[in-house]
Amino acid sequence: MSWKTTLTRPNWLRARSQQPNRRRGQLSPAQLIALTYAGGILLGTLLLSLPGVYQVGQSLSLIQRLFTATSAICVTGLVVADTAETFSIFGQIILLLLIQVGGVGIITFGTLFAFLRGRRINFSERMQLAQQVQALDVGGVLPLIRAIFTYTLVAELIGTLLLWTRFGPEQGTWPGLYSAFFHAVSAYNSAGFVLGDFSRYVADPLISLTVTALIVLGGLGFLVQLNVLSNIHRPRQNRLLTYTKLTLTITGLLLVLGTLLIALTEWHNPKTLGPLPLSGKLLASLFQSATPRSAGFSTLHIASMQPASILVVMILMLIGASPGSTGGGIKTTTLAVLVGSAWNMVRGRGELVVFGRRIEPDIVVRAGTVTTLYAGLLLSALFVLMATNGHLSFELLLFEAISAAATVGLSLDVTHQINTAGLLLLTALMYLGRIGPLTFAVAFNLRGNTAIKYPAERDIPIG
Protein backbone atom coordinates (compact mmCIF):
# COMPACT_ATOMS: atom_id res chain seq x y z
CA MET A 1 0.00 0.00 0.00
CA SER A 2 1.44 3.36 -1.03
CA TRP A 3 0.04 6.56 0.41
CA LYS A 4 1.46 9.60 2.13
CA THR A 5 0.19 11.91 4.80
CA THR A 6 1.96 15.00 6.07
CA LEU A 7 0.84 17.79 8.33
CA THR A 8 0.49 20.28 5.48
CA ARG A 9 -2.38 21.99 3.77
CA PRO A 10 -4.84 19.33 2.50
CA ASN A 11 -4.71 18.55 -1.23
CA TRP A 12 -8.40 19.32 -1.63
CA LEU A 13 -7.67 22.93 -0.61
CA ARG A 14 -4.63 23.16 -2.89
CA ALA A 15 -6.45 21.52 -5.75
CA ARG A 16 -9.36 23.88 -5.28
CA SER A 17 -7.13 26.92 -5.66
CA GLN A 18 -5.29 25.34 -8.58
CA GLN A 19 -8.49 24.67 -10.51
CA PRO A 20 -10.23 28.05 -10.81
CA ASN A 21 -11.79 27.05 -14.12
CA ARG A 22 -13.97 24.29 -12.75
CA ARG A 23 -16.88 23.71 -15.09
CA ARG A 24 -20.08 25.55 -14.28
CA GLY A 25 -22.43 23.34 -12.31
CA GLN A 26 -19.69 20.96 -11.14
CA LEU A 27 -19.75 20.46 -7.38
CA SER A 28 -16.65 21.04 -5.31
CA PRO A 29 -15.59 18.30 -2.84
CA ALA A 30 -16.93 20.32 0.09
CA GLN A 31 -20.27 20.88 -1.65
CA LEU A 32 -20.62 17.20 -2.51
CA ILE A 33 -19.94 16.13 1.08
CA ALA A 34 -22.47 18.64 2.45
CA LEU A 35 -25.16 17.64 -0.04
CA THR A 36 -24.65 13.87 0.20
CA TYR A 37 -24.96 13.90 3.98
CA ALA A 38 -28.10 16.03 3.68
CA GLY A 39 -29.47 13.54 1.15
CA GLY A 40 -28.53 10.65 3.43
CA ILE A 41 -30.44 12.26 6.30
CA LEU A 42 -33.56 12.64 4.14
CA LEU A 43 -33.29 9.04 2.95
CA GLY A 44 -32.84 7.85 6.53
CA THR A 45 -35.94 9.77 7.58
CA LEU A 46 -37.93 8.06 4.82
CA LEU A 47 -36.60 4.64 5.83
CA LEU A 48 -37.65 5.26 9.43
CA SER A 49 -41.16 5.97 8.12
CA LEU A 50 -41.56 2.48 6.63
CA PRO A 51 -44.04 -0.02 8.08
CA GLY A 52 -42.59 -2.45 10.60
CA VAL A 53 -39.85 -0.11 11.82
CA TYR A 54 -41.32 0.30 15.31
CA GLN A 55 -42.40 -2.01 18.08
CA VAL A 56 -46.12 -2.55 18.48
CA GLY A 57 -47.66 0.56 20.03
CA GLN A 58 -44.55 2.69 19.44
CA SER A 59 -44.01 5.47 16.91
CA LEU A 60 -42.11 8.71 16.35
CA SER A 61 -43.27 12.00 14.87
CA LEU A 62 -41.79 13.31 11.62
CA ILE A 63 -39.45 15.67 13.48
CA GLN A 64 -38.36 12.86 15.80
CA ARG A 65 -37.68 10.60 12.81
CA LEU A 66 -35.61 13.36 11.18
CA PHE A 67 -33.73 13.85 14.45
CA THR A 68 -33.05 10.11 14.85
CA ALA A 69 -31.95 9.65 11.23
CA THR A 70 -29.56 12.58 11.58
CA SER A 71 -28.24 11.20 14.86
CA ALA A 72 -27.55 7.84 13.18
CA ILE A 73 -26.00 8.98 9.90
CA CYS A 74 -23.99 11.69 11.67
CA VAL A 75 -22.91 9.00 14.19
CA THR A 76 -24.00 11.00 17.22
CA GLY A 77 -26.25 8.82 19.39
CA LEU A 78 -28.67 11.40 20.80
CA VAL A 79 -32.11 9.79 20.99
CA VAL A 80 -35.62 10.92 21.87
CA ALA A 81 -36.72 7.38 22.77
CA ASP A 82 -35.07 4.16 23.94
CA THR A 83 -33.72 2.32 20.89
CA ALA A 84 -34.46 -1.23 22.04
CA GLU A 85 -37.97 -0.44 23.28
CA THR A 86 -38.99 1.77 20.36
CA PHE A 87 -37.56 0.08 17.26
CA SER A 88 -38.19 -3.40 15.93
CA ILE A 89 -35.31 -5.54 14.67
CA PHE A 90 -36.03 -4.16 11.20
CA GLY A 91 -35.81 -0.59 12.52
CA GLN A 92 -32.62 -1.34 14.43
CA ILE A 93 -31.03 -2.76 11.28
CA ILE A 94 -31.91 0.45 9.42
CA LEU A 95 -30.22 2.44 12.18
CA LEU A 96 -27.21 0.15 11.98
CA LEU A 97 -26.90 0.69 8.23
CA LEU A 98 -27.17 4.45 8.66
CA ILE A 99 -24.47 4.33 11.34
CA GLN A 100 -22.11 2.27 9.18
CA VAL A 101 -22.60 4.42 6.09
CA GLY A 102 -22.34 7.65 8.04
CA GLY A 103 -19.31 6.52 10.00
CA VAL A 104 -17.15 5.35 7.12
CA GLY A 105 -18.53 8.03 4.81
CA ILE A 106 -21.27 8.20 2.21
CA ILE A 107 -18.89 9.15 -0.59
CA THR A 108 -16.49 6.42 0.49
CA PHE A 109 -19.24 3.80 0.14
CA GLY A 110 -20.30 5.17 -3.22
CA THR A 111 -16.76 5.04 -4.52
CA LEU A 112 -16.28 1.49 -3.28
CA PHE A 113 -19.39 0.30 -5.14
CA ALA A 114 -18.26 2.12 -8.28
CA PHE A 115 -14.82 0.59 -7.94
CA LEU A 116 -16.27 -2.90 -7.49
CA ARG A 117 -18.33 -2.42 -10.65
CA GLY A 118 -15.12 -1.62 -12.52
CA ARG A 119 -15.88 2.06 -13.16
CA ARG A 120 -12.85 4.34 -13.44
CA ILE A 121 -12.54 6.90 -10.64
CA ASN A 122 -11.60 10.31 -12.06
CA PHE A 123 -9.46 13.01 -10.46
CA SER A 124 -12.42 15.07 -9.27
CA GLU A 125 -13.84 12.07 -7.41
CA ARG A 126 -10.42 11.39 -5.88
CA MET A 127 -10.38 14.95 -4.57
CA GLN A 128 -13.79 14.46 -2.98
CA LEU A 129 -12.61 11.27 -1.32
CA ALA A 130 -9.42 12.92 -0.13
CA GLN A 131 -11.38 15.60 1.69
CA GLN A 132 -13.79 13.14 3.31
CA VAL A 133 -11.10 10.85 4.73
CA GLN A 134 -8.57 13.68 5.25
CA ALA A 135 -6.15 12.04 2.83
CA LEU A 136 -3.50 14.50 1.70
CA ASP A 137 -2.27 12.57 -1.34
CA VAL A 138 -4.96 12.43 -4.03
CA GLY A 139 -3.08 9.78 -5.99
CA GLY A 140 -3.11 7.32 -3.10
CA VAL A 141 -6.80 7.62 -2.22
CA LEU A 142 -8.10 4.43 -3.85
CA PRO A 143 -5.64 2.05 -2.14
CA LEU A 144 -6.48 3.89 1.08
CA ILE A 145 -10.22 3.35 0.56
CA ARG A 146 -9.70 -0.39 0.08
CA ALA A 147 -7.57 -0.51 3.22
CA ILE A 148 -10.18 1.46 5.20
CA PHE A 149 -12.96 -0.98 4.39
CA THR A 150 -10.81 -4.01 5.11
CA TYR A 151 -9.59 -2.60 8.40
CA THR A 152 -13.07 -1.47 9.46
CA LEU A 153 -14.54 -4.89 8.78
CA VAL A 154 -11.78 -6.68 10.67
CA ALA A 155 -12.00 -4.33 13.68
CA GLU A 156 -15.77 -4.66 13.91
CA LEU A 157 -15.68 -8.44 13.58
CA ILE A 158 -13.05 -8.78 16.30
CA GLY A 159 -15.10 -6.48 18.52
CA THR A 160 -18.20 -8.54 17.78
CA LEU A 161 -16.52 -11.81 18.75
CA LEU A 162 -15.19 -10.37 22.01
CA LEU A 163 -18.55 -8.90 23.00
CA TRP A 164 -20.31 -12.12 21.97
CA THR A 165 -18.40 -14.08 24.61
CA ARG A 166 -20.36 -12.10 27.19
CA PHE A 167 -23.64 -11.36 25.37
CA GLY A 168 -24.01 -14.92 24.03
CA PRO A 169 -24.39 -16.66 27.42
CA GLU A 170 -26.58 -13.79 28.70
CA GLN A 171 -28.98 -13.37 25.78
CA GLY A 172 -28.72 -16.60 23.83
CA THR A 173 -26.48 -17.49 20.90
CA TRP A 174 -28.11 -15.58 18.02
CA PRO A 175 -29.62 -12.65 19.97
CA GLY A 176 -26.27 -12.27 21.71
CA LEU A 177 -24.42 -12.29 18.38
CA TYR A 178 -26.75 -9.62 16.98
CA SER A 179 -26.35 -7.48 20.09
CA ALA A 180 -22.56 -7.87 19.96
CA PHE A 181 -22.44 -6.85 16.29
CA PHE A 182 -24.76 -3.87 16.85
CA HIS A 183 -22.64 -2.50 19.70
CA ALA A 184 -19.32 -3.21 17.94
CA VAL A 185 -20.44 -1.22 14.88
CA SER A 186 -21.91 1.52 17.06
CA ALA A 187 -18.71 1.82 19.13
CA TYR A 188 -16.21 1.72 16.28
CA ASN A 189 -18.19 4.33 14.35
CA SER A 190 -18.51 6.53 17.46
CA ALA A 191 -22.30 6.36 17.21
CA GLY A 192 -23.33 5.72 20.81
CA PHE A 193 -26.57 3.86 20.03
CA VAL A 194 -27.15 1.07 22.57
CA LEU A 195 -29.70 -1.67 23.11
CA GLY A 196 -30.57 -1.52 26.80
CA ASP A 197 -28.74 -0.22 29.84
CA PHE A 198 -24.95 -0.35 29.60
CA SER A 199 -24.43 0.60 33.24
CA ARG A 200 -24.67 -3.06 34.28
CA TYR A 201 -21.26 -3.57 32.67
CA VAL A 202 -19.61 -0.76 34.62
CA ALA A 203 -17.19 -3.15 36.36
CA ASP A 204 -16.98 -5.73 33.55
CA PRO A 205 -13.44 -5.54 32.10
CA LEU A 206 -14.25 -7.50 28.92
CA ILE A 207 -17.15 -5.29 27.86
CA SER A 208 -15.67 -2.00 29.06
CA LEU A 209 -12.20 -2.53 27.61
CA THR A 210 -13.50 -3.89 24.29
CA VAL A 211 -15.87 -0.96 23.78
CA THR A 212 -13.17 1.49 24.93
CA ALA A 213 -10.69 0.02 22.43
CA LEU A 214 -13.24 0.29 19.59
CA ILE A 215 -14.02 3.89 20.54
CA VAL A 216 -10.34 4.86 20.65
CA LEU A 217 -9.55 3.12 17.36
CA GLY A 218 -12.49 4.75 15.60
CA GLY A 219 -11.53 8.12 17.04
CA LEU A 220 -7.89 7.93 15.95
CA GLY A 221 -8.76 8.14 12.28
CA PHE A 222 -8.15 5.68 9.48
CA LEU A 223 -4.86 7.23 8.34
CA VAL A 224 -3.33 6.94 11.80
CA GLN A 225 -4.41 3.34 12.24
CA LEU A 226 -3.09 2.28 8.84
CA ASN A 227 0.15 4.21 9.31
CA VAL A 228 0.78 2.45 12.62
CA LEU A 229 0.05 -0.98 11.10
CA SER A 230 2.29 -0.35 8.09
CA ASN A 231 5.06 0.89 10.41
CA ILE A 232 4.81 -2.27 12.50
CA HIS A 233 4.88 -4.42 9.35
CA ARG A 234 7.71 -2.56 7.58
CA PRO A 235 9.25 0.06 9.89
CA ARG A 236 12.04 1.07 7.52
CA GLN A 237 9.78 1.70 4.52
CA ASN A 238 6.86 3.19 6.47
CA ARG A 239 7.92 5.67 9.12
CA LEU A 240 5.47 7.07 11.64
CA LEU A 241 4.27 10.37 10.24
CA THR A 242 4.28 13.61 12.21
CA TYR A 243 0.50 13.64 12.05
CA THR A 244 0.38 10.12 13.51
CA LYS A 245 2.79 10.95 16.33
CA LEU A 246 0.86 14.10 17.18
CA THR A 247 -2.50 12.30 17.16
CA LEU A 248 -1.29 9.40 19.30
CA THR A 249 0.36 11.75 21.79
CA ILE A 250 -2.65 14.03 22.26
CA THR A 251 -5.07 11.09 22.36
CA GLY A 252 -3.02 9.35 25.05
CA LEU A 253 -2.64 12.50 27.13
CA LEU A 254 -6.37 13.29 26.99
CA LEU A 255 -7.29 9.71 27.85
CA VAL A 256 -5.00 9.63 30.89
CA LEU A 257 -5.87 13.15 32.05
CA GLY A 258 -9.60 12.54 31.65
CA THR A 259 -9.37 9.29 33.60
CA LEU A 260 -7.50 10.95 36.47
CA LEU A 261 -9.84 13.96 36.68
CA ILE A 262 -13.02 11.87 36.60
CA ALA A 263 -11.62 9.47 39.21
CA LEU A 264 -10.60 12.39 41.40
CA THR A 265 -13.99 14.11 41.33
CA GLU A 266 -16.19 11.00 41.40
CA TRP A 267 -14.23 8.68 43.71
CA HIS A 268 -16.58 9.05 46.70
CA ASN A 269 -19.77 9.96 44.80
CA PRO A 270 -22.37 7.41 46.04
CA LYS A 271 -24.28 7.69 42.74
CA THR A 272 -21.33 6.91 40.47
CA LEU A 273 -17.93 5.49 41.54
CA GLY A 274 -18.56 5.35 45.28
CA PRO A 275 -20.04 1.80 45.55
CA LEU A 276 -17.52 0.24 43.12
CA PRO A 277 -14.35 -1.66 44.09
CA LEU A 278 -10.96 -0.18 43.22
CA SER A 279 -10.73 -1.97 39.87
CA GLY A 280 -14.28 -0.94 39.00
CA LYS A 281 -13.58 2.70 39.80
CA LEU A 282 -10.52 2.79 37.57
CA LEU A 283 -12.30 0.94 34.78
CA ALA A 284 -15.33 3.24 34.92
CA SER A 285 -13.14 6.34 35.00
CA LEU A 286 -11.26 5.14 31.91
CA PHE A 287 -14.49 4.35 30.08
CA GLN A 288 -16.03 7.74 30.88
CA SER A 289 -12.82 9.41 29.73
CA ALA A 290 -12.89 7.63 26.36
CA THR A 291 -16.58 7.94 25.54
CA PRO A 292 -16.84 11.77 25.39
CA ARG A 293 -14.32 11.65 22.55
CA SER A 294 -17.35 11.40 20.24
CA ALA A 295 -18.70 7.96 21.19
CA GLY A 296 -21.73 8.52 23.45
CA PHE A 297 -21.60 5.27 25.44
CA SER A 298 -21.73 5.47 29.23
CA THR A 299 -21.53 2.98 32.08
CA LEU A 300 -22.23 5.67 34.67
CA HIS A 301 -25.27 7.91 34.96
CA ILE A 302 -23.80 11.13 33.54
CA ALA A 303 -26.51 13.29 35.11
CA SER A 304 -25.47 12.01 38.56
CA MET A 305 -21.88 13.20 38.19
CA GLN A 306 -20.40 16.11 40.06
CA PRO A 307 -20.43 19.50 38.26
CA ALA A 308 -16.63 19.36 37.92
CA SER A 309 -16.85 15.98 36.19
CA ILE A 310 -19.54 17.25 33.84
CA LEU A 311 -17.25 20.14 32.93
CA VAL A 312 -14.44 17.67 32.15
CA VAL A 313 -16.82 15.66 29.95
CA MET A 314 -17.89 18.81 28.07
CA ILE A 315 -14.28 19.80 27.41
CA LEU A 316 -13.46 16.30 26.14
CA MET A 317 -16.56 16.37 23.93
CA LEU A 318 -15.59 19.73 22.48
CA ILE A 319 -12.05 18.52 21.65
CA GLY A 320 -13.43 15.36 20.10
CA ALA A 321 -11.59 12.81 17.99
CA SER A 322 -8.97 13.09 15.26
CA PRO A 323 -9.24 14.23 11.61
CA GLY A 324 -10.42 11.60 9.17
CA SER A 325 -12.04 9.57 11.96
CA THR A 326 -15.64 8.69 12.73
CA GLY A 327 -15.72 11.30 15.51
CA GLY A 328 -16.41 15.04 15.67
CA GLY A 329 -15.29 18.00 17.74
CA ILE A 330 -12.61 20.55 16.88
CA LYS A 331 -10.19 17.59 16.64
CA THR A 332 -7.05 16.67 18.57
CA THR A 333 -4.63 18.13 16.03
CA THR A 334 -6.45 21.47 16.19
CA LEU A 335 -5.96 21.53 19.94
CA ALA A 336 -2.29 20.60 19.58
CA VAL A 337 -1.63 23.36 17.02
CA LEU A 338 -3.46 25.99 19.09
CA VAL A 339 -1.72 25.08 22.35
CA GLY A 340 1.65 24.80 20.63
CA SER A 341 1.22 28.17 18.93
CA ALA A 342 0.22 29.86 22.18
CA TRP A 343 3.20 28.31 23.99
CA ASN A 344 5.50 29.46 21.20
CA MET A 345 4.15 32.99 21.47
CA VAL A 346 4.64 33.05 25.25
CA ARG A 347 8.23 31.89 24.87
CA GLY A 348 8.94 34.41 22.13
CA ARG A 349 9.54 31.83 19.43
CA GLY A 350 8.53 32.20 15.81
CA GLU A 351 7.78 28.98 13.94
CA LEU A 352 5.87 26.09 15.49
CA VAL A 353 7.92 22.88 15.42
CA VAL A 354 6.46 19.45 16.25
CA PHE A 355 8.58 16.29 16.37
CA GLY A 356 11.31 18.02 14.38
CA ARG A 357 8.90 19.26 11.71
CA ARG A 358 7.89 22.88 11.06
CA ILE A 359 4.15 23.52 10.97
CA GLU A 360 3.21 25.90 8.19
CA PRO A 361 1.39 29.13 9.18
CA ASP A 362 -1.72 28.27 7.17
CA ILE A 363 -2.22 25.20 9.38
CA VAL A 364 -2.24 27.49 12.44
CA VAL A 365 -4.74 29.79 10.72
CA ARG A 366 -6.92 26.81 9.85
CA ALA A 367 -6.87 25.61 13.47
CA GLY A 368 -7.91 29.05 14.68
CA THR A 369 -10.65 29.22 12.05
CA VAL A 370 -12.12 25.86 13.01
CA THR A 371 -12.14 26.77 16.70
CA THR A 372 -13.70 30.18 16.03
CA LEU A 373 -16.43 28.66 13.86
CA TYR A 374 -17.21 26.04 16.51
CA ALA A 375 -17.38 28.68 19.23
CA GLY A 376 -19.66 30.90 17.15
CA LEU A 377 -21.85 27.94 16.23
CA LEU A 378 -22.22 26.80 19.84
CA LEU A 379 -22.94 30.27 21.22
CA SER A 380 -25.57 30.94 18.55
CA ALA A 381 -27.20 27.55 19.10
CA LEU A 382 -27.15 27.98 22.88
CA PHE A 383 -28.89 31.35 22.59
CA VAL A 384 -31.69 29.86 20.47
CA LEU A 385 -32.01 26.83 22.75
CA MET A 386 -32.32 29.04 25.82
CA ALA A 387 -34.85 31.27 24.06
CA THR A 388 -37.05 28.36 22.99
CA ASN A 389 -36.54 26.01 25.96
CA GLY A 390 -36.57 28.29 28.98
CA HIS A 391 -37.78 25.47 31.22
CA LEU A 392 -34.32 23.87 31.03
CA SER A 393 -31.20 25.20 32.77
CA PHE A 394 -28.15 26.73 31.09
CA GLU A 395 -25.95 23.75 32.04
CA LEU A 396 -28.35 21.19 30.57
CA LEU A 397 -28.73 23.05 27.29
CA LEU A 398 -25.01 23.76 26.96
CA PHE A 399 -24.20 20.07 27.49
CA GLU A 400 -26.81 19.06 24.89
CA ALA A 401 -25.53 21.60 22.34
CA ILE A 402 -21.89 20.50 22.72
CA SER A 403 -22.90 16.85 22.51
CA ALA A 404 -24.78 17.47 19.25
CA ALA A 405 -22.16 19.74 17.62
CA ALA A 406 -19.33 17.35 18.56
CA THR A 407 -21.46 14.33 17.44
CA VAL A 408 -21.01 12.64 20.82
CA GLY A 409 -24.49 11.58 21.93
CA LEU A 410 -24.14 11.90 25.70
CA SER A 411 -27.02 13.63 27.45
CA LEU A 412 -28.08 14.74 30.90
CA ASP A 413 -31.45 13.05 30.30
CA VAL A 414 -33.10 16.09 28.71
CA THR A 415 -33.24 15.28 24.98
CA HIS A 416 -36.83 14.06 25.25
CA GLN A 417 -37.78 17.30 27.06
CA ILE A 418 -36.63 19.60 24.26
CA ASN A 419 -39.38 21.04 22.08
CA THR A 420 -39.67 20.87 18.29
CA ALA A 421 -37.66 24.04 17.65
CA GLY A 422 -34.89 22.75 19.88
CA LEU A 423 -34.85 19.34 18.17
CA LEU A 424 -34.55 20.99 14.76
CA LEU A 425 -31.65 23.09 16.02
CA LEU A 426 -29.89 20.02 17.48
CA THR A 427 -30.46 18.26 14.15
CA ALA A 428 -28.67 21.10 12.37
CA LEU A 429 -25.85 20.97 14.93
CA MET A 430 -25.34 17.23 14.39
CA TYR A 431 -25.25 17.74 10.63
CA LEU A 432 -22.77 20.62 10.81
CA GLY A 433 -20.71 18.74 13.40
CA ARG A 434 -20.38 15.70 11.13
CA ILE A 435 -19.35 17.51 7.95
CA GLY A 436 -17.48 20.21 9.87
CA PRO A 437 -18.35 23.92 10.05
CA LEU A 438 -15.34 24.80 7.89
CA THR A 439 -16.35 22.33 5.18
CA PHE A 440 -19.85 23.78 5.23
CA ALA A 441 -18.50 27.33 4.98
CA VAL A 442 -16.19 26.40 2.09
CA ALA A 443 -18.99 24.49 0.35
CA PHE A 444 -21.28 27.50 0.19
CA ASN A 445 -18.67 30.19 -0.38
CA LEU A 446 -20.12 31.29 -3.70
CA ARG A 447 -17.61 34.11 -4.26
CA GLY A 448 -14.59 31.81 -4.51
CA ASN A 449 -11.01 32.98 -4.31
CA THR A 450 -10.23 36.61 -5.04
CA ALA A 451 -7.25 37.71 -7.10
CA ILE A 452 -6.94 41.03 -5.24
CA LYS A 453 -3.94 41.31 -2.91
CA TYR A 454 -4.20 44.02 -0.25
CA PRO A 455 -1.34 45.80 1.58
CA ALA A 456 -0.20 44.10 4.78
CA GLU A 457 -0.92 45.61 8.19
CA ARG A 458 1.10 44.62 11.27
CA ASP A 459 0.16 47.40 13.70
CA ILE A 460 -2.89 45.70 15.27
CA PRO A 461 -2.32 44.99 18.98
CA ILE A 462 -3.51 41.60 20.22
CA GLY A 463 -3.82 40.64 23.88
Show the low-confidence residues of the chain (pLDDT under 50).
1-21, 110-111, 113-117, 119, 121, 123, 125, 136, 138-139
Cα dihedral 190→192→195→196 (10° resolution): 140
Give the per-residue pLDDT at 449: 55
Give the per-residue pLDDT at 3: 40
Domain membership of residue 320 (yes or no) is yes
Give the per-residue pLDDT at 113: 47
Total domain count, the chain: 1
Give the per-residue pLDDT at 1: 39
Question: To the nearest whole number, what is the mean pLDDT of the chain?
Answer: 83
Give the per-residue pLDDT at 227: 79
Give the per-residue pLDDT at 406: 93
* pLDDT tens digit sequence for 163-179: 999 999 999 999 999 99
Give the per-residue pLDDT at 24: 54
Concatenating the DSSP letter of every residue in 110-140 gives HHHHHHHTTPPP-HHHHHHHHHHTT-S-GGG
* pLDDT tens digit sequence for 62-83: 999 999 999 999 999 999 999 9
Domain membership of residue 453 (yes or no) is no
Domain membership of residue 430 (yes or no) is yes
Give the per-residue pLDDT at 382: 95
Give the per-residue pLDDT at 2: 41
Alpha helix ranges (H) inside 292-393? 307-319, 332-346, 361-388
- Rounded CA separation 186/182 (Å): 6
Domain membership of residue 6 (yes or no) is no
Give the per-residue pLDDT at 4: 40
Domain hosting residue 143, numbered range = 29-443
Give the per-residue pLDDT at 145: 72
Report the phi/psi class of residue 222: left, alpha or beta, with left for phi > 0 and alpha for psi in -120 to 50. alpha
